[in-house]
């Protein structure tokens, strides 16, 4: 009986797969909301949501 239960459990169990390392690409400026969204112009001075950050982190929010 016990053998039968073990066999059933074994069949339901997925085959072991060793852990794998995967490399995924992160865009750091985007991930931390550090880049400008300069497609938007608003605010009292017209700068809100525009390019108020460092020019080096500027990008066109084209997506």
Residues near other proteins, by CB under 8 A:
17, 20-27, 29-37, 39-40, 42-45, 47-50, 52-55, 57, 59, 61-63
Nearest distance from residue 59's CB to other proteins, in Å?
7
| CA distances to 7, 13, 39 from 4, in Å | 5, 14, 65
Q: Minimal distance in Å, beta carbon 36 to other proteins? A: 8
Q: Give whichever of 8 and 37 is closer to other proteins, judged by the CB atom.
A: 37
**C-alpha–C-alpha distance, residues 46 and 26, integer Å:** 31
């Amino acid at each position: 009986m016990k053998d039968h239960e073990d066999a059933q459990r074994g069949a339901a169990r997925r085959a072991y797969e060793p852990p794998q390392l995967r490399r995924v690409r992160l865009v750091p400026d985007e991930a931390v909301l550090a880049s400008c969204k300069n497609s938007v112009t608003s605010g009292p001075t017209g700068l809100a949501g525009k390019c108020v950050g460092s020019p080096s982190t500027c990008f066109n929010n084209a997506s």
